[in-house]
Structure 1
């Protein structure tokens, strides 16, 4: 008997669980959700933020940024999800207060690819000007 392939609904569950764990700020648990060869691409042209990251590189980025949040995490709330084959498209938003007094409240479109019960690719589209003004530009 041939193995049963994951359904789009199952891949949505994996993506939702991944974002739930991401929202805890637990970097090791986040990395456990990623396939060993996973990549995470962040849109824009912001030095030190935009670009493609390997699993270990995204771990380093997340470890550095979670300390900026008062609650130690960036909660991400899923607004909608659509899945086809191994891809899950997600509309989401985040909200967190930062130690620098700023509020990070961003909107996202994530395209998450799933294989072998793990996230293999994240493509993150968001308001890069808001990211820059919140994390990079230290002037008010």
Structure 2
């Protein structure tokens, strides 16, 4: 019999695999009805706390920016204790505008009733800004 921590780590691994598919509906389906997703920093348009419904809208919009329709998130380390799973991860996506998004994260997941209840996401917000929001320079 596996421990609750091991089960929760598997829930998070499965979630990140589905997240990497870009299927917004499948991602949202793995979130608890009361789920929230908090993004670190003070960057307008990104740093905030999102409800399950708000995250679904955000994901549907952002997947259109990716050349292959998804942001691949690869966990490099997971530590589970009780209902919490801490994850170090790396992302990768080629964007339709020619930029590459390759960020590094620390996530803290909280699991309830077999679903993702809370996520705290820490990342390099400057890299996110430069990749997604910084105006592209005109060719000379």
Aligned twin of 1:86: 83
Displacement of 1:116 in angstroms is 0.3
Instruction: Please show how residues 16-95 of structure 1 align to structure 2 within 5 Å.
Output: 16-95=13-92
Alpha-carbon deviations, 1:7-27, whole Å to 9, x = none? 100000000000000000000
Q: What is the rounded CA distance, in whole Å, between the counterparts of 1:121 and 1:21 in structure 2?
A: 17
Q: What is the rounded CA distance, in whole Å, between the counterparts of 2:110 and 2:128 in structure 1?
A: 24
Aligned twin of 1:103: 100
Unaligned segments of structure 2, at least 5 residues:
none
TM-score relative to the length of structure 1: 0.94
Aligned residues between the structures:
136
TM-score relative to the length of structure 2: 0.94
Aligned twin of 2:124: 127
Q: What is the rounded CA distance, in whole Å, between the counterparts of 2:12 and 2:73 in structure 1?
A: 12
Q: What is the rounded CA distance, in whole Å, between the counterparts of 1:65 and 1:43 in structure 2?
A: 18
Unaligned segments of structure 1, at least 5 residues:
1-5
Moved over 2 A (4+): none
Displacement of 1:46 in angstroms is 1.0
Give the root-mean-square deviation of aligned CA atoms: 1.2
Q: What is the rounded CA distance, in whole Å, between the counterparts of 2:46 and 2:57 in structure 1?
A: 11
